[in-house]
Chains A and B, each alone.
Chain A
Amino acid sequence: MSDPGAIFASPSEVNWFAAGRRLAAGEAALVSIWGDEGRMRMALREPDGALSFVDYHCDDGAFPSVAAVHPPAGRLERSACDLFGFEARDGPDRRRWLDHGRWPVRHPLGTPSAHEGLPDLYAFLKAEGPGLHQIPVGPVHAGIIEPGHFRFHASGETVVRLEERLGYVHKGVDRLMRGAYLERAASLAARVSGDSTVAYSIAFARSVEMALGIETPPRAHFLRGLMAELERLANHFGDIGAICNDAAFALMHAHCGILRERTLRAANAAFGHRLMMDAVVPGGVAVDVRPDGIDAIQNLIAAVRSAFPKLVHLYDNTASLQDRTVGTGVVKPNMARQFGAGGVVGRASGRDFDARRDHPYPPYDALAFQVPLRREGDVNARVWVRIDEVFESLDLVEAMLSRLPEGSIQIQFEIGGPREGHALVEAFRGDVFTHVRLAEDGSIGRCHLRDASWFQWPLLEAAIEGNIVADFPLGNKSFNCSYSGCDL
């Protein structure tokens, strides 16, 4: 970020530079940075937990790069430049991120210009030295996973540099959102990252409810909480099993797969959809819990309480498994703090943040729970945070069932605008931030959805450095970042 020329700086510039300086100094955490019509916007988390917002009007089509002083802003800034056509002045990385040169347009949300011809070339960062070789992986991977490209520079078995290239599943969600009315916008938000569909739906709904000043009925809050914890349980079972499977310990995978399937079946019995897609809508929830659904959830809790401790014991007492997970893929606490890494990745590296507790929203503001924390930052710590969170979620589900309020599940409301609202919601992999700007007719003017993975993917590059290539799948799985959630 260059010298703003303090005397002539507009208020917008002064605030923007001040925000950049505070991020660089660690006085505030970056929540997100995104483009809107003619301006860049930034959300920060202040030391007291409050969110603050800064706009920068790009009158000459450019804005001072925040990434120049605070690297975590990098990919978000590059994405905003791709979509809106802004220039990040003094930006450290001018390469396009989401735009691979394969769309028929450049800057689809700014002033679109037609694009034809060959796709862009991408200059990967270099690592040079005797005996170094490159290993290109993806976008199509060997497993049943999302597409992305990993470029390894390796010295023998040891990873010298990993660079990620993402954007392959960019579907143009931001552009589809613009002009959409709430029902369609909610169904798009529910499909940003399918594994976090409930969390995204809650975040989108809460943004709209804040914008329009809607009071959601208490029963709806509790049903949302139930769905969110079922989603967390299902994903944590899947991840714990899959991490062990990547260390060739298939027995854990088989058992965790059973618990995951039982969770999805209970969700289906309770809410009519295994992933509970489209069940949360602005104003409340679309479906009430079915009468036999409560039994299904209670039976699930009992089954997990019986089976899961044995699996934890097995994990904790299998030396060959620990040999793979302990000390592998370490994220240092200072990196987790600098990047504001949320979720399991942050909490396994000492970053004590959970949006449910630290940015409280119903029903969690009325419930007591612990936020598990580890400091080692390795694969093992990320497994343990998930294990501990499973037990917390079981308690939360029971508490919510026992205190489920009666009453309506949805409130009717008038749409209108222009208004703005935002939300920070804890998905299973970390905090989802949403910011919604409603146009005058109540349609979406701009909807920005920021997955926790934005601040986790870069840490994976750092975590794998100095590890062997064969440990990458294990480290990657222990992060389980979303591709679709970042590519949008």
Chain B
Amino acid sequence: MRDTLLQSLRPPLTEPAPAADDPELAALAASVKNAAEATLGRSLAIRHVDAGSCNGCELEIHALNNAFYDLERFGLRFVASPRHADVLLVTGPVTLNMREALERTYEATPAPKWVVATGVCAADGGVFAGSYAIAGGVSSVLPVDLVIPGCPPTPASLLKGLLALMTGRPR
């Protein structure tokens, strides 16, 4: 039975990696000042922090681990603690009720570290901008290295963003 099920994963479902001249990848890479690869090589540990998301972004971040996107083939992996992380992948408009938790997660992450604001809410508050209950975008609380837009960003966009963060400008 299990052999049958393993067989049904073949041929691999995995999508090809984004092409080096992919316009979305190039645009994201152009916005990265300090690529992680120069410091850490081709491996990044990612800690996700939901700072007030509607949970739409989380669904698509989850999808990065499925057989189609298979994030770990690129040396990217999600870790359970900020102390193991190089990158904080932050979603949501940063609610005031989550602000301190986000700041403490950032402080618990060892340098060098990168912050990726994920989705339009994390970029500028999105539809929740102007509320009494939010700080309004991750950059109002933490230094942001990259913004991946979308509501929510597709797994393909997330993947390109993380690859762009790793390698920076196309050479």
A171 contacts B1, C-beta separation under 8 Å: no
Q: Determine how close the nearest CB of chain A comes to the CB of B1; give it in whole angstroms.
A: 6
Q: Which of B71-108 contact A (CB under 8 A)?
A: 78, 80-82, 92-93, 95-101, 105
B62 at the A interface (CB under 8 A): yes
With known contacts A103-B133, A144-B58, A193-B54, A261–B66 Cβ distance under 8 A: yes
B93 contacts A171, C-beta separation under 8 Å: yes
B5 contacts A168, C-beta separation under 8 Å: no
With known contacts A238-B62, A251-B2, A310-B5, A172–B54 Cβ distance under 8 A: no
Interface size of A by CB at 8 A reads: 55
Encoded as 1 (CB less than 8 Å from any B CB) or 0, chain A from 138 to 153 comes to 0110111111000000
**Chain B residues within 8 Å of A119, by CB:** 100
**Chain A residues within 8 Å of B37, by CB:** none
**Complex CA–CA separation, A225 to B58 (angstroms):** 24
Closest B-chain residue to A138, C-beta based? Answer: B101
Interface size of B by CB at 8 A reads: 53
Q: Which of B20-28, B123-131, B140-148 contacts A (4 or more CB under 8 A)?
A: B123-131
**Complex CA–CA separation, A258 to B9 (angstroms):** 9
A275 contacts B2, C-beta separation under 8 Å: no
**Complex CA–CA separation, A191 to B128 (angstroms):** 9
Q: Which of B25-55 contact A (CB under 8 A)?
A: 48-55
With known contacts A193-B55, A483-B55, A257–B65 Cβ distance under 8 A: yes
Interface of B is mostly: mixed
For B13, B54, B92, B130, the residue with the greatest tally of chain A CB atoms inside 10 Å of its CB is B54
Q: Determine how close the nearest CB of chain B comes to the CB of A252; give it in whole angstroms.
A: 9
Q: Determine how close the nearest CB of chain A comes to the CB of B99; give it in whole angstroms.
A: 7
B55 contacts A310, C-beta separation under 8 Å: no
**Chain B residues within 8 Å of A142, by CB:** 80-81
Give the top 3 A-B pairs by smallest Cβ distance, nearest first. A194-B56, A172-B131, A172-B133
Q: List 16 A-B pairs, Cβ < 8 Å.
A: A103-B132, A108-B132, A145-B50, A175-B133, A191-B127, A191-B128, A195-B56, A195-B59, A238-B62, A257-B67, A258-B68, A260-B66, A261-B68, A274-B60, A277-B151, A317-B1
Using CB atoms and an 8 Å cutoff, list the residues of chain A in contact with chain B.
100, 102-105, 108, 119, 139-140, 142-147, 167-173, 175-176, 184, 187-188, 191-195, 197, 238, 251, 254-255, 257-258, 260-261, 264, 274-275, 277, 307, 310-311, 313-314, 317, 482-484, 487
